[in-house]
Structure 1
Amino acid sequence: MTVDLTVVITTHAEDHLLRPTMRAIHDAIEAVVDSGYQVELLIVADNPTPAVLAETARWTYESEFESRVLTVALGEPGASRNAGVRAARGTYIALCDGDDLFTADMLLGAVRILDERGPRAVVHPEHVVSFGERSGLWPIRSTDDPSLTYHDLLTSNLWPSCSVSPRELLLEFPYPELPPGSGYGPEDYFWNVVTASAGIPHVTVPGSFHFYRTRRAGGVNNANASALLPPFDLDTLRANFPRVDAPITPATLAQRAGRGVAQAYHVLKPIARPVPFTVRRRVYRMLRSAIGRPMWSTTALDAATTARIRRVAEIEPALSWTLYHLERDHVHVWRPLSDAYAEILEALWDDLRGRCGLLMLAPWVGIGGADLVVQNYAKAFVARPDLAGQTALITTADASRTDTDLIPPGMQHHQLPESYRNLPHDRQRQLIAQAIVLLKPATIISVNCFDFSRALNTYAPQLGTDRRVYLTFFAFDRIGRGSYPTNPITDDAGRAFTSRLAGVITDNHATASLVADTMGIDDTVVKVHRQPAMRSIPEFESIAQGSAYVDEQFSAERPFEVVWPHRMDREKRVDSLVEIAEEVRRRGLPVRINVHGSAVLHAGDPDLRPQLRRLGVVVHGPYKGGLPALPVDRYHCMLLTSESEGLPLSIVQAMHLGLPVVASAVGGVGDIVKDRETGLLTTGPDDITGFVDAIAALVESRELRRTLIRGGYDFARANHSVDAFEALVREEFGTV
């Protein structure tokens, strides 16, 4: 016997919810049989509960048409559907889940559409109504709608899994089998992308309804809350997404106008709540009368449609209140998001596809130690012949803070647009993660990139599998009046991603111990990479010509020049600099302090620049290019007052350039500043007396300055050269 349609119901643990589904499907099958088609029912019981087995046995025994049960132990919805497809005998196959329902016209309408259109189409219900924990309406758009594009599919899943398709098409395009815990899904969304990439139209049965249960916990939607689509070829989707060149007729214009009115209504409805009810009701009735249907529908809710919906409610009364509110346009209407997600994802694909075997991420590349770290790795990677054309950098924060001249030639750079910042945080995380999954870099290095760290917190299985992921940690930033420590990689309370890291990179052993203890990871995961601070280190003979090495006598007219070349924020302790300037004035020292750096003020923090100026401090403002960009040869020492640091590359630069360093002994500073050998240390940023005593000692003794200059220069050259760093990079990252 030839079977025209096989109805495949996948079930697992629906228990008492299975019977309403079976009753609704029985009505739909009857409509198909009454029209002369041969139908079989195939129930795929995947690891079924005893209650499911009992219910399926009941239906196969009592069914008026051929019914079978296929018992499997697959534990995955895509695999269950594929098993049903292989076992089915019908020309067409309807797929539905064991706890969903649909109106009786759905199956017959789909079969007739496929008879008319041929074997290359997928048919869905026109409306999906969710009920249970959440009520809502999802109007399904057909690819016959010329306004529907692949951008809509990149942004949101457009079609439900409830569908009818030719069996041959389902065999050609089986559902993806995504193991639980992989982080990928939903499988029906990915299948929709795959079939749309092959040019398969997805169309709807006019006036039909699918009813979808929502739950507080469990369920497919909850399970896929942190899911991503597996890798796919965006070029193929873009080229083959089904397009319809439909003529513009008065009917299509009216339909578009009606859709526009309905969309505007649902946007404005929450805003209009303060308007008196009688006024709102009058406006609603006028609009509904004008478009001839409910605001959510593309077809009139006529008597026949209402009767079909009511029949499903008689089967499952839990629908009734949702349907009651639906009649009054009081149910939330879900529509694909209208944001910049698809455009940003597509731009990343176009810029970086096939060019990012090694991918770096950073908020910006401008000034500061972390920016030098980005440049160090970028230059080391682009210098490797095996990475030619395979290194890329994504900067995620304000574009104005990135100096593109600092990014070496050969490094593909992509700046995320301002529209990325306008996305909700969960969409930002999803976008970063989905882009990486599509681009498939083998190695990722995130340099203080909070956007990537947030994405990794949410999508660790997808981002940390089949690729090496490195994060950096150089120091804590400080927040709040209590100066609480914060860092992108420690802000997440769970830190489930730590087991998937190839390494956490820092630049000194003190911070390495701090990272291991704070994150609870093995010492071997923490990598100490001593960073070069300058590509070209001057010879000692040239720096011995500078003022710090040569000058001996100082006066008010010819003062000892101190440079403080840091970002003016809370962590750098500008307040300590104010106290140092006050103590220098009180002692009458012939010292002038020079401040270079941008002011980064936290909420509620005072701007201390006016106070510094009143104390005789010269505030020069922002600069780019690190210490070498400043007139170092006229300065006599560099001052660092931070309360939190890794190993500041400004110290390494000062040693390369022949400036004695006076620094607070915090973080990794002690790794490079050996007191009275390579610099002078204070006990911390509040040791004002220690700072001023150290400055006074340098003013008084040229020999001390020369000792520190020589010791610092030799140490920095031996430990922070480009050659040593590039050798370390080759050893750590190997072949990408």
Structure 2
Amino acid sequence: MALVFFTAEDAKEAQRTQRILIITQLATCDVFPEGEIGFFQKIRFLSVRLAVSRSDLMTFGIGLIIRPLRLSVPSLRSLRLKKLMVSIKFTNIQSCEMNMNIDISVVIPAHHEGRLAHPTMMSVFRSAAYAGEKGIKTEILVVMDAPDEKTRAYFSRYEKTEILFETVAFRDLGLTRNFGVAQASGRYVTLLDADNLFGKNWIAGSLAYLESHPGDMIVHPEYHLVFEAENLIWQQMSSDDPRCDIGNLIENNYWDANCTAKRKLMMKYPYEATTATPGFGFEDWHFNCKTLTDGIPHRIVPETVNFLRKKRAGSLLAQSLQTHRIVRPNPLFDPDVLASMMENAVMELLRPPEIDSEVPPEADPEAPSETDGGHRAESVPLPGPERIIPEPDAKPRLPDWLIREWRDIHEIEPQLFPEKWLAEDIFFYEVPTSHIARPYLELCELYGKDVSHVFLVPWLVKGGADLVAINYIRSLANQGLAGEIVVMATCDTDSPWKERLPESTRFIEFGRRYAHLSDEEQEKLLTRVLLQMMPRVIHNVNSELGYKMFVRYGNALADASKLYVSLFCMDMTPEGRSVGYAIMYLSECFDNLSGIFTDNLAYLRKLQETYGFEDRKMAVHYQPAPPVPDLPEKEMSDLKGAKKTHFDILWAGRLDRQKRADILISVAEKCRKLPFRFHVYGSSVLDADICTPAFEAAENITYYGSFNGLPSLPVHQYDVLLYTSQWDGLPNVLLEAISLGLPVVASDVGGISELIRHGETGFLIAPYDNPDLYADCLQKLSDNPPLRAAVARDARKMLVSRHSWDAFHEKVRHIPDYGVPQI
């Protein structure tokens, strides 16, 4: 027995020059240990015995002939190997490549089908027998991929037959098919999963179609009849059918894996593995896209039907759907390629039908003729596009041949029978029209080239989280740590702070532009673009769409991109229940994240206590404050107001429930008899505004409306900042107030105490909702300007040391895998 090693290039060269191929001959017929072992186990075994690395063996021996060596020995001790060089001249190299007597090989991947494989095998025998009547030689090859005991037991009955068996442990349908194709001996290969059924004429019909149509192509049955979990008819169409919209492949697959093609073609386009990266699936969908891109048409064999069992549970397809797998990036989804193919399809659709000039048109009996004095028109208008494709009937009728085959297959699979009610009312599946194909092309164009970082935000309004996103973008841009940066605003709302982004940043109003799409379509659209474009980093700052995408498709996205999120604090319902994105989504997507950033240590510890997250993924990035202006020492010591008649208190923030403007109103009421004036800035963003009427009714409150950050306000007119939030992270407005020399009185919640040390860098109020404590603290400060000055001065020192841009740049620069490596 001999092992023949050659590559395709070696074979061509040997055939042309009659040169010698190297043959490693084994001195004994007893080669492998007892029992069936798989291909890669054989490779491992041979590499040890021949003292050749497995990689070299696989590279050099890509055409390795394994099947003749399925032999056993009583003991490995009797094994003796010799390496011999044998000279052979090949007059017919193809006879050494495979057994050319086989016309077509049926490759059947099996794993956990058990006795469900019995109808499958019976249908294959029936189809092969019909093909045999037409002189077609069929090989049947079952590849059992990590089979369970029931499946192994079922197939054991065929061990002494002509059926070929291989056992592998890929646990991957695509790799199992590839292995079967590599082991097949036929010129053509047809694939069938071990729980589906062939129609009687499939083997013969698909082979006849391929041999009568020159060139490479992949053929599929005209119909699939789906049964068990649901009953439906899927009438497939050829890729060059005018009704076949290539753009639909962005969301849905046009053809099942049940197909027939030349073996060489299947070897050239192997299925992608789906086990290596858990987020990817649908290897047949990817295969279809890739072959189409390379100009390989998918054709339908007329008057053929196969039967697909849709299991209620346990199938690999069901697992893919349940685990939110998605088809991997592929050449078809390159926007230039897809746009070209979609345009070509439209042009084909609009192309007028060809008219043979030698065949006279049929006479119109109602048209005027020369004999009755009329005149024929010089030209006849060509039919418009709407006439090229007839409208389908309201209820498509199943052809008689399909009904007969459906009835005949009942003898093999009793679940299949064309009962009258079923045949008349069965659902006809059609590949849905994609609503995201055109938006996909548009979004890819907006996205542009050379993008390294994508930021997902709900919007860029006047808020702390929005400023955090802008800070990261500025740091990356200023330090040269990014290529192009794209910001996606995923909500349908204005983003006035987009003007704060660096000039080179590409800002896309995704939510506004694609508001007409459903939530699911928006998710699919954004996911597909990010998968195809493969940015280095995707950083989500409070985008719910981003979180949903990370949960559903995080496995796939993390294959090429590093995923990060920024979190700030828990939200809370009026009843006191903790809510927020961390609670809703973080646990489900945590494993796919490269990092979680917070702006305060308190929240990071809360997440660890609640969910047990490991430290290595979590980091505190204290946000940079605005540049601290130099204030004269006298101004710091006097701090406004020793000579003022009123104590002016600033309150600035969102008029949402979190910020508790109602506490401000209560404090103002407590201070009604004191010479205090409360100056209020802000507007509602998330909740309804219920505070403005109370502001207007209070004698000591002046309400100014919304504002664009604290530096935009006349801060020099105010003596202290009052902050009354019920929950928070480390709010940016406090950093701004301190940088501007304003002392702070704030609720002791979240991470505020990391900045405000009571009596040193500000004043903390606990519990947060006690208006008397706020009023007492304000009164003491109004009587003590030197204390206000000292606290403000010490707070500014902390800001300079911990909240500077230099400190923030340093943090960003050292985030693992976050910045683009500098050359």
Distance change >3 Å, CA 74–CA 677, structure 1 → 2: closer
- The corresponding residue for 1:614 is 697
- 1:433, 1:456 within 8 Å by CA — same for their partners in 2? no
Which of 102, 109, 112 pairs up with 2:208?
Answer: 112
Letter matched to residue 489 of structure 1: A
Aligned twin of 1:27: 126
Q: Deviations over 1:106-153 (max 9, x none)?
A: 333322332233232111122333222233333323212224333211
Cα distance change, pair 722–211 in 1 and its aligned pair in 2 (3 A): same
Query: Alpha carbons of 1:344 and 1:695: their partners in 2 closer, same or farther (altered >3 Å)?
Result: farther
Q: 2:640 aligns with which of 550, 558, 564?
A: 550
In structure 1, what residue type is equivalent to 2:407? R
Distance 2:691 2:194 in 1: 67
The structure 2 residue matched to 1:579, chosen from 663, 666, 675, is: 666
Cα offsets for 1:498-535 (capped at 9, x unmatched): 3443332112222232232223123343212111132x
Deviations 1:605-628 (A, max 9, x none): 67222122111433332333x111
- Quote the residue 1:540 is aligned against: 631
Task: Give the TM-score normalised by the residue count of structure 2.
Answer: 0.77
Structure 1 contact 595–618 (Cα < 8 Å) conserved: yes
Whole-angstrom distance in 1 between the partners of 2:670 and 2:754: 28
How do residues 189-228 of structure 1 correspond to structure 2 at under 5 angstroms? Answer: 189-225=285-321, 226-228=324-326
* 2:484 paired with 1:397: no
Amino acid at match of 2:326: L
**Alpha carbons 1:366, 1:406 under 8 Å: kept:** no
The alignment status of 1:312 with 2:409, answered yes or no, reads yes
C-alpha offsets along residues 319-338 of structure 1, whole Å, 9 cap, x if unaligned?
Answer: 337x6554223436353253
Bigger drift between 522-531 and 567-576 goes to 522-531
CA–CA separation in structure 2 for the residues paired with 1:348 and 1:80: 37
Structure 2 unmatched ranges of 5 or more: 1-99, 354-382
Partners of 1:132 and 1:192 in 2: CA distance: 26
Map 1:116-195; keep pairs closer than 5 Å.
116-179=212-275, 182-195=278-291
Deviations 1:141-188 (A, max 9, x none): 321222433321111111101111121211111111222662211111
1:367 aligned residue (462, 471, 480): 462
* Deviation (angstroms), 1:196: 1.7
2:531 paired with 1:437: yes
CA deviation profile, 1:547-566 (whole Å, cap 9, x unmatched): x92223555xxx43322221
Q: Which one of 641, 647, 659 corresponds to residue 560 of structure 1?
A: 647
Equivalent residues of 1:198, 1:240 under 8 A apart: no
Cα offset, 1:28, TM superposition: 2.7
Once residues 340 and 158 of structure 2 are traced to their aligned partners in structure 1, the CA distance between those partners, rounded to angstroms, is 42
Q: Using the alignment, how far apart are the partners of 2:138 and 2:168 within structure 1? A: 22
CA displacement at 1:96 relative to structure 2: 0.9
Q: Tell me the CA shift for residue 717 of structure 1.
A: 2.3
1:54 Cα deviation after fit:
5.2
Shift of 1:594: 2.6
Asked whether the equivalents of residues 119 and 166 of structure 1 are also in contact (C-alpha less than 8 Å), the reply is: no
CA–CA distance in structure 2, aligned partners of residues 137 and 392 of structure 1: 44
Unaligned segments of structure 1, at least 5 residues: 263-286, 295-300
1:264-283 aligned within 5 A:
none
Partners of 1:600 and 1:239 in 2: CA distance: 40
Deviates more, 1:350-359 or 1:363-372: 350-359
SS at match of 1:589: coil
1:376 corresponding residue in structure 2: 471
Amino acid at match of 2:582: I
With over 3 angstroms needed to count, the CA separation of the structure-2 counterparts of 1:73 and 1:504, relative to structure 1, is closer
Report the equivalent of 1:79.
175
- Residues 573 and 685, structure 1, Cα contact 8 Å, conserved in 2: no
The verdict on how the C-alpha distance between 1:543 and 1:409 changes in structure 2, with shifts beyond 3 A counting, is farther
1:641 has 2:724 as partner: yes
Query: 2:50 matched to which residue of 1?
Result: none
Would the alpha carbon gap of residues 608 and 330 (structure 1) be closer, same or farther in structure 2, given more than 3 Å must change?
farther
- Taking the aligned partners of 1:37 and 1:663, their CA distance within structure 2 comes to 86
Asked whether the 8 Å contact 2:648–2:676 carries over to 1, the reply is yes
Q: Which amino acid letter does the alignment assign opposite residue 594 of structure 1?
A: H
Q: Of 381, 385, 391, which aligns to 1:258?
A: 391
Equivalent residue in structure 2 for 1:229, among 322, 327, 343: 327
SS at 1:203's partner residue? strand
Is the counterpart of residue 696 in structure 1 residue 779 in structure 2? yes
Residue identity opposite 2:596 in structure 1:
V
Please show how residues 269-348 of structure 1 align to structure 2 within 5 Å: 287-288=394-395, 293-294=396-397, 301-320=398-417, 324-331=420-427, 333-340=429-436, 342-348=437-443
Please point out which of 85, 110, 113 is paired with 1:11: 110
| 1: CA distance, partners of 2:779 / 2:135 | 103
Which residue in 2 is equivalent to 1:528?
A: 620
Cα 1:636–1:124 change in 2 (3 A) is: same
1:488 aligned to which of 574, 581, 595: 581
Q: Deviations over 1:36-58 (max 9, x none)?
A: 43332222222334554454455
Q: Say whether 1:477 aligns with 2:579.
A: no
Percent of pairs with identical residues:
29
- Report how far residue 92 of structure 1 moved: 1.9
Return the alpha-carbon distance in structure 1 between the equivalents of residues 792 and 509 of structure 2.
Answer: 40
Give the distance between the partners of 2:402 and 2:594, measured in 1 at CA.
58
- Indicate conservation of the 8 Å contact 2:435/2:521, yes or no: no
Q: Pick one of 657, 662, 669 that aligns with 2:740.
A: 657
Alpha-carbon distance in 2 for matches of 1:509, 1:12: 50
Task: Tell me, yes or no, if structure 1 residue 676 matches structure 2 residue 756.
Answer: no
Counterpart in the other structure of 1:279: none
Letter of the 1:538 partner, please give it: P
Matched, 1:623 2:707: yes
The answer to whether the 8 Å contact 2:738/2:795 transfers is yes
Q: CA-to-partner distance for each residue in 1:357-411, whole Å, 9 max, x for gaps?
A: 2332222222111111111111110112353x34332222224135321211222
In the TM superposition, what is the alpha-carbon distance from 1:240 to its structure 2 partner? 6.8
Greater percentage in helix: 1
Quick one: structure 1 residues 516 and 154, their matched pair in 2 at CA, closer, same or farther if it must change by over 3 Å?
A: same
Once residues 287 and 618 of structure 2 are traced to their aligned partners in structure 1, the CA distance between those partners, rounded to angstroms, is 40
- Describe the superposition over 1:395-428 as per-residue Cα deviations: whole angstroms up to 9, x where unpaired: 2222413532121122233331446555555554
2:682 to 569, 574, 597: 597
Matched, 1:719 2:802: yes
Change (3 A) 1:498 1:209: same
Distance 1:568 1:210 in 2: 63
- Equivalent residue for 2:814, pick from 706, 727, 731: 731
1:456 corresponds, among 550, 563, 583, to 550
> CA shift at 1:78, angstroms?
0.9
CA separation in 1, counterparts of 2:109 and 2:488?
43
Are the aligned partners of 1:3 and 1:89 in contact in 2 as well (CA < 8 Å)? yes
Quote the residue 2:504 is aligned against. Answer: 410
Residues 89 and 649 of structure 1: CA distance in aligned 2, closer, same or farther (over 3 Å) = same
For the pair shown, the structure with the greater C-alpha radius of gyration is 2
Correspondent of 2:606 among 514, 523, 532: 514
Secondary structure at the residue paired with 2:240? coil
Distance (whole Å) between structure 1 residues aligned to residue 385 and residue 414 of structure 2: 37
Q: How many residues align?
A: 682
**1:136–1:334 Cα contact (<8 Å) kept:** no
Q: Which amino acid aligns with 1:549?
A: L
Aligned-pair Cα RMSD in Å: 2.9
